[in-house]
Structure 1
Amino acid sequence: MASFHHGDAMAMCVTGATGYIGSWLVQSLLKKGYLVHATARDLDKARQVLSNLGGNGKLKIFKADLDEEGSFDEAVKGCIGVFHVAASMEFNCDANQNIESSMLEPALKGTTNLLQSCSKVGSVKRVIFTSSISTITAKDENGEWIHKVDESCLNPANLVWKKRPSGWVYVLSKLLTEQKAFQFANEKGIDLVSIIPPTVAGPFLTPDVPTSLQVLLSPITGDPKLFPILAAVHARLGSIPLVHIEDICNAHIFLMEHVEAEGRYICSATSCAMAQLIEILSFKYPSCSPKRISEDHYEKIPSIICSMKLTSLGFKFCYDLADIIKHSVASCSESGFLKTF
């Protein structure tokens, strides 16, 4: 891949630009001087979320739908890089749904449609695929804890199908779409790099509180649907890995710009045991936690979620656990999602 830098005012495309990561990534790219092609299914929502970011004419918004072949042709035209952030945040399903036809096939088709557009236009030098820590497990094939968890510790799709833990549909979708993305990219000669975010938290630009923030704060909101998802993460990884929204977006751009980047990259700034997270949320922010969940029965597992592959390239995290929780609680309090009592 040829080297390029943000000072060259080159164009970057961001799919899913109305989402949590997508909207913040658009903002981060504009601040670095890039031209940005932001895509969304709903143009009105995109204008609502992105209109205050300025950009001095450097932001263009395109209507595009992953379900429609050729839908991204115009959006990626002239772009040197594409960030594929768009994804369904569907965690579970009802018993009568056909998972393959209703969720998995559209997700796979959407990824193929986007990469087909990238292949067609010829200008795209690299695609950054936003994966998920749900594709990673801290347990080996015998169910034993792995001490150092890296990009090779894949969560087996057949076990997800079999056990169907909380949030399993999202897990399966991410596993299969990332696999499909690399397969298609290899066939078409596309330079594709995958970034693996853990639970993303901090401030947000979206009108609604992002799902990942709602999951993180479920110990103090007592949300009966989202807390099991947090518990499932802890059960699979032995801790809750976290990253600040600003760090994850900077990491996306870092991997786009770094010539030597290849394959998959875990981007986790810190991890904390469930008991530690509940303790911090409950005792540091007691006015927000009338429904707090007991921290009992959550053992601390010494698995290290390793971001060394990313940091060895020179990437540095700016925010730690205290920052992430502080900024998350503050932004959710300002939005009215967290009410003090």
Structure 2
Amino acid sequence: MKVQKVIVLSSTAAVDFNPNWPEDRLKDESCWSDKEFCKENEDWYSVAKILAEQASLEYAEKNGLNVVTLCPPLVFGPLLQPMVNTSSKFLIYVMKGGPDAMNNKLWHTVDVRDVADALLLVYEKAESSGRYICAPNNVCTKDLVNLLKEMFPKYSYVNNIIDVDRKAPITSQRLRDLGWEPRKLEETLTDSVECYEKAGLLQDSAGRPCRLPHLFRLAGDQ
């Protein structure tokens, strides 16, 4: 079919969960999540992302095809679809509070519009190749809550936050070097919350507590 380039949307789930990575070294595209570690923690989403991305890159090498993979983390921003995605459920939980404790771990976030820009960028740039991490913002739970409280003080917010050791942050420098210019976290949060408010997603449900999505209810910090 004379295909010259294929863009694969992966995830930082295939990058970030590596307990053997040095704590003082930024995680870049050379870092892969430990598949066995993810299996032990029953993190099947990450296992699936690891296998899928590795399979695409292996296919590319064997068949001489230029496959570029893009790895975004939690994706916030205005919603287009009628269903609330898991990343938005996480942010909604943080704002509405609930019964589940949260670790004061490091979260990586990106705006959905910046993911779209990154996809177009690696598609159009002739020199793009291999992996690209698409995670411009690193913020711990407490800092995220405090920032949201300053911007939107009327919500209850999660208050059961447990201090934990922090893992090494992720860098998106390789994608930035290609010309990617993502939004500031404050702009993403503002547009996300305003979208949720218009959709009625931050209103109290009929007596039912807001629960944290399963993917984020982890006993320890990975």
**TM value normalised by structure 2:** 0.82
1:234-286 superposed Cα distances (whole Å, 9 cap, x missing partner): 7xxx5111111111100001001111111100011211111101222345323
Is the alpha carbon distance of 1:223 and 1:173 closer, same or farther for their aligned partners in structure 2, counting shifts above 3 Å? farther
Equivalent pair of 1:140/1:146 in contact (CA under 8 Å): no
Is the alpha carbon distance of 1:188 and 1:253 closer, same or farther for their aligned partners in structure 2, counting shifts above 3 Å? same
1:157-182 superposed Cα distances (whole Å, 9 cap, x missing partner): 01111122xxx121111111111111
Is the alpha carbon distance of 1:302 and 1:320 closer, same or farther for their aligned partners in structure 2, counting shifts above 3 Å? farther
Distance 1:337 1:240 in 2: 22
Aligned residue pairs, count: 205
Match of 1:320 among 184, 188, 191: 184
Equivalent pair of 1:268/1:306 in contact (CA under 8 Å): yes
What residue in structure 2 maps to residue 329 of structure 1?
Answer: 193
1:129-185 superposed Cα distances (whole Å, 9 cap, x missing partner): 1111111227542x7524311111211001111122xxx121111111111111122
What residue in structure 2 maps to residue 304 of structure 1?
Answer: 169
What residue in structure 2 maps to residue 169 of structure 1?
Answer: 44
What residue in structure 1 maps to residue 86 of structure 2?
Answer: 211
Q: What percent identity do the matched residue pairs reach?
A: 26
- In structure 2, give the amino acid aligned to 1:163: N
Unaligned runs of 5+ in 1: 1-121
User: 1 or 2, which has the higher helix percentage?
Assistant: 1
Is the alpha carbon distance of 1:178 and 1:276 closer, same or farther for their aligned partners in structure 2, counting shifts above 3 Å? same
How far has the Cα of 1:299 moved from its partner?
Answer: 5.2
Is the alpha carbon distance of 1:306 and 1:270 closer, same or farther for their aligned partners in structure 2, counting shifts above 3 Å? same
C-alpha RMSD of matched pairs (Å): 2.5
Structure of larger gyration radius: 1
- In structure 2, give the amino acid aligned to 1:208: M
- In structure 2, give the amino acid aligned to 1:135: A
Unaligned runs of 5+ in 2: 206-222
Distance 1:262 1:315 in 2: 15
Equivalent pair of 1:267/1:310 in contact (CA under 8 Å): yes
Equivalent pair of 2:19/2:34 in contact (CA under 8 Å): no
Distance 2:139 2:73 in 1: 12
Is the alpha carbon distance of 1:242 and 1:210 closer, same or farther for their aligned partners in structure 2, counting shifts above 3 Å? same
What residue in structure 1 maps to residue 214 of structure 2?
Answer: none
Matched, 1:181 2:59: no
Partner SS state of residue 120, structure 2 = helix
- In structure 2, give the amino acid aligned to 1:336: G
What residue in structure 2 maps to residue 339 of structure 1?
Answer: 203
Equivalent pair of 2:141/2:161 in contact (CA under 8 Å): no
